[in-house]
Structure 1
Amino acid sequence: MNKITILNNRYRIIRELGSGGFGETFLSEDTQMPSERRCVVKQLKPVTANPQIFQLINERFAREAAILEALGEGNRQIPRLYAYFEEQSQFYLVQEWIEGETLTNRVENQGKMSESSVREILISLLPVLEFVHSQRIVHRDIKPDNIMLRKSDGIPILIDFGAVKETMGTVMNSSGNGTSSIVIGTPGFMPSEQAAGRPVYSSDLYSLGLTAIYLLTEKWPQELAINHDTGEVIWRQYAPRISPSLATVLDKAIMSHSRDRFHSPREMLDALTPCSLPGYGIPPAIASPSPVHPVPAPVFVAASPTASSPVVKSSSLGDWQKAGIIGTIIGLFVFLGLWISRPQVATNSSENIAAEPDQTNPEPQKSSPETPDALKGLEAVPARSESLSQIDPKQFIINYYTNLNQRQYNTTWSKLSPNFKTKAGTFADYVEWWESVAEIRVGNVRSIAQTEREAIVDVQLQYLMNDGRLVDDLKNRINLVWDNGQQTWLFDDKFEP
């Protein structure tokens, strides 16, 4: 930088962070702020010095800077833009300094990442891309180098958008108009349509999918073979322990033709999150800082989304009412069936009680668990099931989340059915995720239907995350099964409305 130590009479250069074909990046201090906060100054160099298009570049630079400002202000996982200026025919951006390490650095220092860590990164970044795309912007340069894990909380931050680079690559074409002379993106991480200069929204999902594969395999795209018949990337042999559900999602994300990929970040997120089961998985609002546009759940996911999942949500009041009606019908049929069969299973003791009203200590009649007025009469709990009358499914749910708040993970893990545990992953994964939640707040708990062996409960949950986010999960439907051995309810995942 020709020994310049102060830029714009304000930003003191501390050291160089990196350099490339478009310019250099420096760690700097803002001398006009009381804290002298640290920031990143990017010096951007146009590929041409043609004075005829300098004004055009200047105008485009201002426009792209305004977009970067809006993105940074609209999402905490994009660095904020503090300033931009032009000085001595050079263009500068001043952005928030993210202290941390890139995903490339993480893999180089610690090796392959676990599936649960990669899944969390994807679930955290997809809403960021959804927000970016809602602004009609394609990032165009998603790769491990452009995703940083913030040191303070470990949250992934998306950096280095390609739009400004395209502006710096502006030249004069044969017709006398300004046009970009370069293709934005990184070889290996960008799909064919982007390499041809026609990126689409799913181009970013392609790049994100290959980034996830790098984290799981420690293999760069150039190190992976291509199926010459289909054009698809061959990578699964380098991650033999990955779950089929995640592998299927990544395969779809990196399909060679854009029509075969996910069409939006929300669609990819919905394909990932059905594996997040009730009481275990990631709450949907964590992955929804921006408005959600519901899409049908992809049918290729191994664990099909059900009404018991806290992740697949509907913002429609009509859907909620339909679920309530379905639950009511199920409960009514169960109740009628048991009522019809009741005379055949009556015991001698119950007949004797009816015939001897004057005995001193008659056995009290069994009653079903407390139920909201709108649902009274819909439960079917046989009188002979003493354990069920002692444990209210609603109270079981409250106790479960109370134990989670107290970090009693062995206790809560034991309250998951074997079927649930098989799909939920390992106990270590379970603990790792819940450790990211500072507090679970339980709101309204409502019984939907109950039989001797199964119960369906709706619960409103609020998650206070370690990073300070408060996440609402208003439609969490949980299916419970009764375990005779433990004499308790267990979380299950097989309820389908």
Structure 2
Amino acid sequence: MSYCLNPTCPNPQNPTDTKFCITCGTKLLLKERYRAIKPIGQGGFGRTFLAVDEDKPSKPPCVIKQFYPQAQGTSTVQKAVELFNQEAVRLDELGKHPQIPELLAYFTQDDRQYLVQEFIDGQNLAEELSKVGAFNETQILQLLNDLLPVLQFVHNHQVIHRDIKPENIIRRSRDTRLVIVDFGASKFATGAALLKTGTSIGSPEYVAPEQARGKATFVSDIYSLGVTCIHLLTQMSPFDLYDINEDAWVWRQFLTFKVSGFLGKILDKMLQTAVSRRYQSAAEVLKDLNQEQKQATTPTVATAAKPVHPHPGTTPVIKPSASKSKSLVDDELAEMRSQFLEAGTSKNENQKSTPQKPSSPNPAQSKSQVDLELEELKSQFLGSPKPKKPPTQT
């Protein structure tokens, strides 16, 4: 099928390979190569279409963005033109990154501006969330490790995305990598531009407080990524995850899966209202993330025992450490000695009212006898020479 790009065409659908719209006569091929197939989105500044590049034998898919502002007023339309032009410039600069769509063409046709970019086949995270449910900690950690380097790349090119949200993050089907799309709201952040108050742009649920006041900075994207994470963890609107009365995030109350303390701490810092208390770069978030993960996964190093090589044909006998065996035997003998002596003391106390026989041994003699017997047991266990009995007193 071919789709007519004339916004006023009453019947834009056309047969495949048609060169002109059979309803309004508008030319269907852009730059003699890009053919729109169906609309896939519409925003305040334009419409987006799935298309094919007929200049290549495989006719690979691509995306056509048509500048078609819905807003009224000269100043608003002028701002929309500026943003559309900026998106083309940004994609031309950033599209070489494998997780950012590549800009294929930017031109004007029939007095309308068009932008053609690489098509990313996959679901955005909002679609994924609705199909598979809330994300767990492992998925959020993977998301952060996948997206933070991309965000750092964008910021290194002095660009603020200004519209990080689940709808603008696509999981590419062929390799499951996450791709950041829609740089239509992005801003080139020169030193002067960062100090100047501009237009408040972005999705209200995900926008940072300073960005809402028209003063977006690089850390505004970090805030929006943090809000994206807690939305994916809870499936709740970010508006419902913030307690206005307490002036605090309450996202932990709505978790489906348990979140560890270290991930919670990182997300809390990404979500700080005050810019100075927030992470100052994507690299800084990654550093904390990797340090915590490294500590959590570092195994305990144990000292290996020296191998014993028995003679051929013999069965190896594993002997316990001599010092360890001696310690265990000493402990057990001490306990036996205590039991014997206590028993003897108890017996003597019970017999106080009964006249003792002259031949009964006194407590000191009993203690000496017990020690001798225990020493004999110890020698049997450890192989030490038997203790010599003291000479008999006459």
How far apart in 1 are the matches of 2:84 and 2:64? 15
Q: Offset of 1:102 from its aligned partner?
A: 0.5
How far apart in 1 are the matches of 2:74 and 2:163? 27
Question: Cα deviation per residue 1:327-357 (whole Å; 9 max; x = unaligned)?
Answer: xxxxxxxxxxxxxxxxxxxxxxxxxxxxxxx
What residue in structure 2 maps to residue 237 of structure 1?
253
Three-state SS of the structure 2 residue aligned to 1:16 is strand
Which one of 170, 190, 200 corresponds to residue 217 of structure 2?
200
How far apart in 2 are the matches of 1:195 and 1:276? 33
Change (3 A) 1:60 1:123: closer
The question of 1:33 aligning with 2:33 is answered no
Change (3 A) 1:107 1:59: closer
Q: Offset of 1:29 from its aligned partner?
A: 0.6
Matches within 5 A, 1:423-462: none
How far apart in 1 are the matches of 2:81 and 2:66? 14
How far apart in 2 are the matches of 1:58 and 1:224? 35
Greater strand content: 1
The question of 1:131 aligning with 2:153 is answered yes
What residue in structure 2 maps to residue 386 of structure 1?
306
Question: Cα deviation per residue 1:299-346 (whole Å; 9 max; x = unaligned)?
Answer: xxxxxxxxx79xxxxxxxxxxxxxxxxxxxxxxxxxxxxxxxxxxxxx
Matches within 5 A, 1:85-96: 85-96=107-118
Three-state SS of the structure 2 residue aligned to 1:186 is coil
Asked if the contact 1:140/1:162 (under 8 Å) is kept, the reply is no
Give the TM-score, by structure 2 length. Answer: 0.63
Asked if the contact 1:72/1:79 (under 8 Å) is kept, the reply is yes
Q: Offset of 1:60 from its aligned partner?
A: 7.0
Question: Cα deviation per residue 1:201-233 (whole Å; 9 max; x = unaligned)?
Answer: 11001000011111111112122232534x322
What residue in structure 2 maps to residue 18 of structure 1?
41
Q: Offset of 1:143 from its aligned partner?
A: 0.2
How far apart in 2 are the matches of 1:6 and 1:18? 19
How far apart in 2 are the matches of 1:124 and 1:387? 44
Question: Cα deviation per residue 1:402-434 (whole Å; 9 max; x = unaligned)?
Answer: xxxxxxxxxxxxxxxxxxxxxxxxxxxxxxxxx
How many residues end up aligned between the 2 structures?
A: 274
How far apart in 2 are the matches of 1:90 and 1:140? 25
How far apart in 1 are the matches of 2:198 and 2:74? 14
How far apart in 1 are the matches of 2:217 and 2:86? 21
Q: Offset of 1:20 from its aligned partner?
A: 1.6
One-letter code of the match for 1:386? Answer: K
Three-state SS of the structure 2 residue aligned to 1:248 is helix
Q: Offset of 1:133 from its aligned partner?
A: 0.3
Asked if the contact 2:87/2:183 (under 8 Å) is kept, the reply is no
Asked if the contact 2:205/2:239 (under 8 Å) is kept, the reply is yes
Question: Cα deviation per residue 1:140-197 (whole Å; 9 max; x = unaligned)?
Answer: 000000000001111110001144699xxxxxxxxxxxx9985210011001110111
Which one of 199, 202, 206 corresponds to residue 185 of structure 1?
202
Percent identity over the alignment is: 37
Q: Mark the structure with the bigger radius of gyration.
A: 2
Change (3 A) 1:261 1:215: same
Three-state SS of the structure 2 residue aligned to 1:276 is helix
What residue in structure 2 maps to residue 350 of structure 1?
none
Structure with the larger RCO, 1 or 2 (CA within 8 Å, 6+ apart): 1
The question of 1:155 aligning with 2:177 is answered yes
The question of 1:248 aligning with 2:168 is answered no
Q: Offset of 1:58 from its aligned partner?
A: 6.4
Which structure 1 residue ranges, 5 or more long, are not aligned? 167-178, 282-307, 310-380, 390-497
Which structure 2 residue ranges, 5 or more long, are not aligned? 1-6, 13-25, 189-195, 310-394
One-letter code of the match for 1:222? Answer: F
Give the TM-score, by structure 1 length. Answer: 0.51
Asked if the contact 1:232/1:255 (under 8 Å) is kept, the reply is no
